[in-house]
Each structure stands twice: as C-alpha cells, then as structure tokens.
Structure 1
Amino acid sequence: MGNRHLYSRLLLVQSETSAYVEKVLENVFLKYLSFQLKIIPERMELQFGFILLVSVGLTYGVAPYHDPHCGGKQVIVHLFEWKWTDIAKECERFLGPKGFCGVQVSPPMEHAMITTDGDRPWWERYQPISYKLTSRSGNEAQLKDMVQRCKAVGVRVYVDAVVNHMAGLGRKGVGTAGSTFDSDARDFPGVPYTKDNFNDRSDCPSHDGNVNNYGDPKNVRNCYLVGLTDLDASQEYVRDKISGYFNHLISLGVAGFRVDAAKHMWPKDLEGILAKTHDLPEGGRPFFYHEVIDRNDGAIKVNEYFHLGYVTEFRYMQKVREGASGDLGRLGAVYDPGWGMAPPDQAFVFVDNHDTQRGNEALTYKNGAEYKRAVAFTLAYNYGFTRVMSSYYFTDNSAGPPRNADMSAKDVIIKADGTCDNGWVCEHRWKSIGNMAMFRNAVTGTSVDNFKYENGVLSFNRGNKGFFAMGSNPFSISVNTGLPAGEYCDLISECAQKIRVDGSGHAQVSPKDPTDPFVAIITQGGNHIAVSNNPDVGNPTTGHVVANTLPPYTPSGSQNFKRTVIMIEKQTNPGQDLFIRGGIDYAHRAGCSASAALSSNPCAIPIRHINPGSSNHFDKVKAWSVGDNFLDWGGPEPGQGSNQGRQPEGTPAYWSTNDHSNSGYSPLNNYGNHYWIVDVEMDCSKTENGFFEVKAVVSGVWESDSSTSAPCSGLGSQRLPYTTKNHFAKCGYKNVFHFNSQTCQISSL
C-alpha cells in the first residue's frame, strides 16, 4: 500500500472519528513513514481494516470528494460574474431543462473594491477581505435563494473558493460587506486574521517574498503569489476559519467547491481543511475540484491532489486547442498519459476559463467556429469531468462584467431567439454547446468506438448509446453510427431534423444548419420522435417529445438497499401529478411520530431515487426527487425540491406508458397508459419483514381505504405482517397497484 493511498484512507477516518482516534491514527501513520516500512505487517493491516470498517462503515471510497451530487449528470457551467438573481432564473429556465449538473459561481465572499480607469476589474473578486457573503453578485439572502432554487430543479451550485490568500499588498480600505482591512499590516478584522496568520518571510526562499521559482515547492507554496497575502494554512486557526466558511456555504445548500490556486497550498493543509468540512445535509462529502496548473514545467504535479477531489487538467486545454484549430484527427489523441496527464477519473477539463481566455493559450468565444468544435468535442468525448464557460464580451483583459452607472453588474437579458443581450456572451446557450449536456449525460460510462476522421469530418459513437459528428465545414457522410435501427432526434438542431439508422447501424448524416456543422444523437431520452397522447407530456414549443430508455441501473452496493418499484394506475386530468406516501403504520411501531425527525422516525423508510432518464418528460419528477430521502406519511420533506414554484405532495411518481413511440415509455411498464412509477432503492431493513404500506395522493386527495388486506398476486403463500387499509408492497420487488382498487400484483425485478 503506497503512502499516499494509506494517508487518504486515514483522512477518511479522520472525518468520521473522535479527535482522540484521529491523533492515534496520525501517530501510527507518522511512525509508519518514519520507519519507511515497505510492507505493513499482517496484523497491523487487519487492525487498520477493522478501524476503517467500524468508523466509516465503508460509506465512502478512498477519495470521497469526486461526487458532484447531481444525479449522475456530467456538465458544469461557469456563469462568470453573474448575479445570484440571474443565476436562479437561468437554472429554472435553461440549465435544469437542459440537463446541466451544476453551476460554478464567482467567489461569494467579501472582496476588495478596486477602481481602475473608471471600471472595477473582474480580479477584485479574487482579493478576499472576509468570509462574509456579500459581493458584487449579491448578498447572503440572494445567494441562499439562488442555491435553493437551482437545487429544486436539479442543478447544484459549486463555489469558486479563494482560500490560499487574502487581498494583495498595497491595498487598504473597506470591502463589499463594509469590513475594513489593511493588507500591508496583514490586518483583516472581518475574519479576523492578523499578521500571525500569514506565511512569514522566513518561510519563503525567494529574495523578494514572491513566488518566482516553480521548480521549488516551498517557493510555490510559502511565498506570495503576485503579491497576494499568503495564508499559513498549517495553523489550526486558519483551517478552522476556512472550513467554517465552507461549512456555512454547505448549510445554505452549496454542494462543492473549486479551490482557487490550490497549487499554491500544501496538500497536507488542504487535507486538514477538508477533514473539518461537514458532510452535505443530504449525506455525502462535498464535491471538490482543485486548480493545479501542471504543464510539466515545475515541481508541483497534479497527482499530489488526486485524493482530495478532481484536479484541473490544463494540458487538455492545450491539446484540444491544437486539434480543433487544425487537423481534427489529432483530437483522437487528446488524452496523453505519457505526457503526465491526469487519468480520466481524476481530470477536470475545460476549453477555457476566466484566466486563460484573457491570454493567448486557449480558444475562446472570440474564435467562433474553432471554439464551438473544441467545446462540442469535449462534451462528446470520454475524458474527464467537464465544465463549459459562459462569459461577457470584453476587449480589456481586466474589464469587469457589463455594468450600470453605479458600477453594479447589468442584468442578463435573454432575447427571443434564446441568446443573451446586455453584454453577456452566454456560450452555454449556443446550440452546439448547450444541447450537448444531454448527450454527455446519456453516454457516460461508454467507450469511444469507430473513431474516424476523413475529408474534414470527425465522427465516433459512444458504445451503443450515442453518435457524434462534426466538421470544419458542412458535410454529408454515410457512416456506421453503432446504434440500433431507428429514427433519432438530432440534439444539435433541437429535433428539427431526424437521423434514420438502418439495421446495420449505418446512417446518412449531415448537419441541419450549415453554419453549425455538428450532429449528435442518443438512444436514451433523445431519440424517436413522437406526438404525446398524454396531456401532461410534451414540448410546448414544438409539440414533439422524445421517447425514453431507462439508464443502466447500477446497484449502489449498500447491503440493505434494494431496488424497489411502485406502479399505480391512475388516469389524471391535465396538470395533475401523482405522489405516494407510506412506510409503517404508526399504530404498529413504537416511537413513530409526525413531529419526529425522519431520520429518527422508525415508521419512515430511507429511499434513494434512481435516475429515470434525461428526457424533458422527467424534469418534474427529478426536481421533486431532490431532498426526498424517505418514504413517509407526511408531505414534502424539509429541503425537498420544488418544480417552478410548485411543492410536492410526497414522494413523486412519473407518468408512463408501454407505447414505445411515446416520451413516457418505460420498459418497466408492460401494462398500458397511465401507470405512475416510483423507482427507488429502499432500505429493506427498515420494513416489516420486507413489507411496507403505500397510498397515492393526487391534488391533495388521498386514495380511498381498502376493505381487505389480502396478499397481492405473485406472493404465493407469504403472509402479510399485519392488517391495513392501505396497499402492502414488498421491498426489492415490482409492485403494481390500481388507484382505489384492491387488485395488485408483485413480481421480481
């Protein structure tokens, strides 16, 4: 077992154990290193295994900071310098419906106010004054509202965290939250930090105190980066302040953090900070990705940070620029492990960011077609976790966002054609970028097959889940898509054209818009065009909807959790949805109470929603599933998501049919129209001998009581645990009921 691997396991234990056990483990590890053991004695390894098993229950893996907590979605967008109020609207009107995982927001902490040439530069946001949540983007109340509204539509928020340093030398005054500061005196009373909390000049080997030798880790991590006052994060006090900042944001609903300038922080200091950072309220460690610029030109390597989360891969940015700007065939070798690039499961990748678009090293929105090719390819390929950029127009590299006369940022205005106005670029809304989020979500986990570059056209399929093609110019090609026969919706044109795949997997492919030479089709949630027969299903803009294939189900591995499906037949009126409530009867178990916290209520059963697919048909149920962690007898859970301001009435179900041409098609449905489905993993250990109760609710009206508690067909001679006037379902099985009816069937999944 390598040192780094062992230490990351010990860090995992640190976040779950008492301070005493933490210290014991730290001492054991230090002794292990000091003796430079090559092999851990068998008995010691068993002891480590026992401690890990007891203290964490195998809840997390070796590196628990890689989960973005967005239901398996794969694309983040950086809404650079957007106001919180505008981000909330964008989550609801665009990011949620398009299947984006989350949004990276500009640093929300109090920052310096700097005026140069009548403008306030973007980089003032990277000069912290305190961890108070008032910035150019808005105040804490607006931030909290935005985070909650985004979460309600399935979009998580990740904060750009500036914690390596405070404001730069030579600055003094008042920050955006009213805190005074004096950088030269290292005096930041809004935190508070004093001179003792910063790296001392004696710890920095450079002659002027600034970073000037990237071949020396001590120079990079102990000296001041371009004069920014460098915090000494080896101090527990500093770690407490930074982790406290993180924890406050987590309490507001933030799901993770981009750590700015992580390259300039010692990994052991980040380990100490992350160990003090809380789990998310819904469970799990926060998502982290670290800015580590490694171009094979210095002592700091990306692999030093792998156990702490994803790591930015700047070499990818260089590779994709070279391919998208010239010979597209070079994109087939965009991942080069021989060049030291991070492996796909560790790399955080992008075409440009707010720094590089102000230099000459990256493609940006200013490069037009080349930029579109680079981003579309990035979202279609299978390397890394992806982020796309959303910018504002600028000519001066220091220019701040579009502003009003009072220096406040301008509103983001959306025009009738879906593009942005008021000085905002909104690359994420370009069709060849925004529509590729659904593609990446659908093909995640598949390989790149049939990679082909010929006559200026690049194409490949992602297993049997998706096909992508792009060219430097308009094209028409006959190609093996690798997909099943059928008629598919072109995502790039937003279903304005169909691609017909024959029985051999071949198709004639060309872009709908010659100025946007891309084609993307998927078999999951984005293929066969059909007109809905259900008034609740459809695209209000085109009248067309998309058929669905369930994503592959992968068990979570939790011993007591079993996939459980509840189906209830009910034809509803337009605008109505069906919800279920249930668990164990309060009269049957002691300690059950409507006022008890669900986590301690023995009649509530823990559940985890399974992704139903990426079609727009599921937008409502996915929004309502956020924060729905129990099957219980109450209404919406604290923090449960809403859909366009509408609150759920319990655990949400989605409408389904057995009609393959309908967007509500589900392979779970072998029966007909109007079967509402709840598909979850359920903790069977919390049921009554495998059984639990369930009842449907529509528009506040409960399903009527049943006059009998006879077993459902399919159970054979199994006895029900007690008598109830509700439906009895079985954990780990498919349970089919009919609204206001005693008829039911239970079968294996």
Structure 2
Amino acid sequence: MTHPTQPVRARAAAPARRRLAARTRARGRAAAALAVAVAAPLAACTPDDVAAAPRSDVGVQLFQWTWDAIATECTEHLGPAGYGWVLTSPPQEHVTGPQWWTAYQPVSHRLESRLGTREQLAAMVETCHAAGVEVWVDAVVNHMSGQDEPGTGWAGSPYSHHDYPGLLGPQDFHRCGLTPGDDIQDYDDAAQVQTCELVNLADLATEQPHVRATLTAYLEDLLQLGVDGFRIDAAKHVAPDDLAAVLGPLPDGTGIVQEVIRGAGEPVTPEQYLGNGPVFEFAYAEGLAGALGGGSPSVALDLGAGPGFVPSADAFVFVDNHDTERNGSTLSYADGATYALADVLMLAGTYGTPTVYSGYAFDDRDAGPVQDDDGRVRDATCPDAPGPGASPAPGDWVCQHRWPQVEAMVGWRAVVGDAPLVDVWSRGDAVALGRGERGLVVVNAGDEELRTTLTTSLPDGRYCDVLADGCAATAVRDGRVDVVVPPGSAAAWDVEHRA
C-alpha cells in the first residue's frame, strides 16, 4: 500500500529541512575557513598542538574499524595529518554473522556491536576530539534486519523480521503490497523504492510518529556521547519529508550527509533530499573511474559542472566506498597507482567535500573483517609501508588513508583552503591545476615521463614537492615552473613547503 500525501506534514517538514541544510553547510564553511595551513608534522606536535591545528575539510571512512583502533588512529595519524572528521561504521546492535553487512541489519538501538561497547564508543569520540577530529557515524534509519527467522542480536536482544521487543512492533513496518514478497523490483516506481523492502530488509514506516520519534531518540543518544554528525544510510529509500521529520529535532550544528544513489531516469533523485542537507554524489566517483580508467584525467576537472551533479556545497565526493569497491562501479585499492591518482585529483579539486575511504582487502564481496573466536572485530593494524605498491592478502587492512600520496594531499588541501581553481592545463594523459597563489598539482596518468614548463600563480621561489620522497626542490621564476613527473604519478607544491 502506498501512503497518501499529507499536506500538513509536508508544510511542517519544510522549515526543518531548510534548517538541516543550513546547519551542515555552515559546518562546511567553518571547516573551509580553518583549512588555511597544514597541520604540523607528528614529531613536532604535542596533543594541544594537534587539537589546535587547522583542519582540512577532508573526512575518512574507516570501514569496520573498532572504536579502540579509531581512537588510536585519531591521535597518531588522523589529527597530525589534518583530517577534519572520521566516519565510523554503524554502532547499533546488529544480527550476528561474519559478513560485513551484518552491521547494516539493526536489531536494537543499543550501542553494543562487534566493533565495541558503548563505553568504548564514548571514549573514542573524546579521544578523537582531543586530536582535533570530528566523529560522524553511519546511521541506519530506513530498515531493521533482513532475517526471515527469529534470532538473537549481538548483545542478546531477541527479534524477528517485523518485531523488535521494546523498540518497534509489527505495526511499525511497511508491507508495500506492490511486488511478490514486498521487495523492490522496479526503481522507476518511487512507491516501491520508498515503501517496499530493500533486499528483504524490514522497511520502517517512517511516516508514523512513533517510528520517527524512535529514530530521533537513537540519533540524540549518539549526540549525547559527543558524535558530531551522521551519514544517513539508504536515505533514498525514505521519503524526504519523513527523513526531515526524523532529523529536524536534532540540535543546530548536527552534521548530515545522505546516501542517495543517482539512477538514470529514476524518479527518486538526490536533488529531492537537499533540503535535509548534502548528499554523497555517486556520479563524481563514477566519473573519476572513467577519467582514469581509460579516459583522460582532464575530464576529472569538469566533474561537478553541468547537469547530473548537485551543486558543490551540497556534494560530498569520494573515490570509492564500501559498496562501490565491491560492486565495481568505481576504482578501488586493487587499482593501485591509478586509485592513488584519483585521490590526488579529488583532494586537489574544488568540487564538494572529499571523503577518503579506508578498508580491508577481500576476495569475497560478502567477507567481513578479521574477527576473533567470539565474533569481535580485531583492531586494525596497518602495514609498515601502506601504499599502492603493496599486495595485501584478503583480510589485511589496506589503510588507504595512510598512503603517502593521500596523506600528503590532505595536508596540501589544508594549506590551499578555499583558494580558487586557476592555471588549469592538460595534454594527453597529464593535467595540472593551481589553487590561487597557494598550491599547484600535476598528475601524469600516462605511460611516459612528463617534461614541460607550466604557468603558475605560485609566488616566485623554491618549493618542495610534498608527494616526493624528500624535498625534490622545484623553482618558480617569473610565474613559470619546469616540471618532471614520472609516469603514473603526481607532484604537488604549496606555499608552506619551501626549499
């Protein structure tokens, strides 16, 4: 059954949607204002220095990292590197099993999961804040579990497909009646997309006041622990006004980004959700894959312009995420140097808010992270030299956020801040771009060494290539710079790194 339009509810939701969008955009402007200088090297930093260091606007999704491991990473790497925020996996109690997707099948809103306890989550948030890093969590609000048989969740809560004692009952779920089995079959039918079950996941009746209040209370509980923002999982499958009603009561300053996957010609679009705040722009990641996977890197500079993209202020961009690295719609760690160049281009550009992804290697798309005998995820351990040349075995942590090219570009982005795009140049498989008078990047995706002379707005002087091993000093004279970039690599200079 479809749900009738409720004009009163829609009118009430509109102001809430505008407030939500304004909050998150204000946070983005604040982050950009801070991103005017690179964080100091780790060896030179005290804890107070790290917390006070200007942040970039760059986030990192630490997929399936435990709370203890994230806390350590905030202190030892994310804060010193200049990351502005970290996105965690869902924190609520979930179904049991070794697969990664068990985390996305809630059975209660208790903050007890195989990634850690409520107390460990709270301690992680406090530790990351001390390192100057915000904490955003993946919030599953569209559905509960996808299990047909009754079971017991990670923390001992009993459940069945449409009954979660003490939280939600059979009356709180959709049975769309539009398809056999009530599963979504046609994405050209908005009613199916937003009221039928997504791969058998029990679809919440988010138009109902009790369901909305329950979801809001869950998010408010996380905010009480100090969480700064939320990735709204499967937002496309919740009507925009329903989502506004869930998010509207949250306090000013709450960060929101929504997962709304764009589909050609589909009636449910990312633009419909912008009143609630920004969205992840999947078209950007797919465009990067095309530009570097056989196209031209110069195409990457046009991503975000024209139809098919939300405005920059409404876009969070990424090279890949936990879904796309598995379904092959984007690049992934397995693409090595090409993947690293995609991150360089994303972090160098001006479109959207960048989100770096960091996960583990796999050869089975359902495979979860390495767990102990009790099913708890083991703390992530990065290799001594993470990078595109490594060959991780299934289950090994890839740690893309620590790849030298990625980490250096996070610092570079903190230096250039919101400086405009200038001095754009391209030739064949190579592209260059400047950011005002503060930075210059050259990407060579070809098979031959690039040697050329470029015009740059960098002030005259000698600069260190932040992507090189060592300074690799380069001189700017009369607004011109001679560059030599090996095949399949990049170079970057900024005004904070002088030779």
- Common fold, TM-score beyond 0.5? yes
CA 175–294 in structure 1, closer or farther in 2 if over 3 Å, else same: same
2:437 matched to 1:461? no
Unaligned runs of 5+ in 1: 14-59, 115-119, 530-749
Tell me which residue corresponds to 1:332.
301
Supply the distance in 1 between the matched residues of 2:228 and 2:105 (Cα, whole angstroms): 23
The superposition leaves residues 40-78 of structure 1 with CA deviations (integer Å, 9 ceiling, x where unpaired) of xxxxxxxxxxxxxxxxxxxx7962233257555211111
2:460 matched to 1:485? yes
Does the 8 A contact of 2:432 with 2:443 survive in 1?
yes
Tell me which residue corresponds to 1:370.
338
RMSD: 2.4
Tell me which residue corresponds to 1:631.
none
The superposition leaves residues 476-535 of structure 1 with CA deviations (integer Å, 9 ceiling, x where unpaired) of 332112211122232213653222211x22112235xx5762111222xx3224xxxxxx
Higher relative contact order (CA 8 A, sep 6+): 2
Does the 8 A contact of 1:110 with 1:129 survive in 2?
yes
Tell me which residue corresponds to 2:24.
65
2:489 matched to 1:517? yes
Amino acid across the alignment from 1:150: C
Amino acid across the alignment from 1:193: L
CA 467–8 in structure 1, closer or farther in 2 if over 3 Å, else same: farther
Amino acid across the alignment from 1:508: D
Tell me which residue corresponds to 2:164.
188
SS at the partner of 1:268?
A: helix
Match runs of 1:475-624 below 5 Å: 475-493=450-468, 495-502=470-477, 504-511=478-485, 514=486, 517-523=489-495, 526-529=496-499
Amino acid across the alignment from 1:384: G
SS at the partner of 2:442?
A: strand
Match runs of 1:106-145 below 5 Å: 106-114=89-97, 120-145=98-123
2:62 matched to 1:79? yes
Does the 8 A contact of 1:8 with 1:62 survive in 2?
no
CA 307–515 in structure 1, closer or farther in 2 if over 3 Å, else same: same
Does the 8 A contact of 2:20 with 2:275 survive in 1?
no
SS at the partner of 2:338?
A: helix
SS at the partner of 2:246?
A: helix
2:357 matched to 1:357? no
Shift of the alpha carbon at 1:415?
4.4
CA 240–463 in structure 1, closer or farther in 2 if over 3 Å, else same: same
CA 12–497 in structure 1, closer or farther in 2 if over 3 Å, else same: same
TM-score (norm. length: structure 1): 0.59
Out of 173, 176, 180, which is 2:154 matched to?
176
Does the 8 A contact of 1:448 with 1:460 survive in 2?
yes
Supply the distance in 2 between the matched residues of 1:61 and 1:210 (Cα, whole angstroms): 31
Supply the distance in 1 between the matched residues of 2:313 and 2:361 (Cα, whole angstroms): 33
Does the 8 A contact of 2:152 with 2:159 survive in 1?
yes
Higher strand content, 1 or 2: 1
Match runs of 1:29-40 below 5 Å: none
Tell me which residue corresponds to 2:53.
none
2:70 matched to 1:94? no
Tell me which residue corresponds to 2:266.
298
Q: Please identify, of 86-95 and 460-469, the stretch whose mean Cα deviation from structure 2 is larger.
A: 460-469
Out of 127, 139, 142, which is 1:164 matched to?
142
Over the matched positions of the two proteins, sequence identity in percent amounts to 34
Supply the distance in 2 between the matched residues of 1:91 and 1:454 (Cα, whole angstroms): 39
2:222 matched to 1:249? yes
- Give the aligned length: 460
Does the 8 A contact of 2:234 with 2:260 survive in 1?
yes
Supply the distance in 2 between the matched residues of 1:406 and 1:234 (Cα, whole angstroms): 38
SS at the partner of 2:187?
A: coil
The superposition leaves residues 116-167 of structure 1 with CA deviations (integer Å, 9 ceiling, x where unpaired) of xxxx000000100111011111001111111110011111111000110000
Supply the distance in 2 between the matched residues of 1:61 and 1:212 (Cα, whole angstroms): 31
Amino acid across the alignment from 1:325: G
Does the 8 A contact of 1:100 with 1:437 survive in 2?
yes
SS at the partner of 1:345?
A: helix
The superposition leaves residues 21-52 of structure 1 with CA deviations (integer Å, 9 ceiling, x where unpaired) of xxxxxxxxxxxxxxxxxxxxxxxxxxxxxxxx
CA 161–401 in structure 1, closer or farther in 2 if over 3 Å, else same: same
CA 462–211 in structure 1, closer or farther in 2 if over 3 Å, else same: same
CA 61–112 in structure 1, closer or farther in 2 if over 3 Å, else same: closer
Supply the distance in 2 between the matched residues of 1:195 and 1:356 (Cα, whole angstroms): 33
Does the 8 A contact of 1:346 with 1:384 survive in 2?
yes
Amino acid across the alignment from 2:69: D
Shift of the alpha carbon at 1:455?
4.6
Shift of the alpha carbon at 1:93?
0.6
SS at the partner of 2:202?
A: strand
Match runs of 1:249-288 below 5 Å: 249-277=222-250, 279=251, 284-288=252-256
Supply the distance in 2 between the matched residues of 1:62 and 1:91 (Cα, whole angstroms): 27
Supply the distance in 1 between the matched residues of 2:345 and 2:82 (Cα, whole angstroms): 18
SS at the partner of 2:431?
A: strand
SS at the partner of 1:225?
A: coil
Tell me which residue corresponds to 2:213.
240
2:313 matched to 1:345? yes
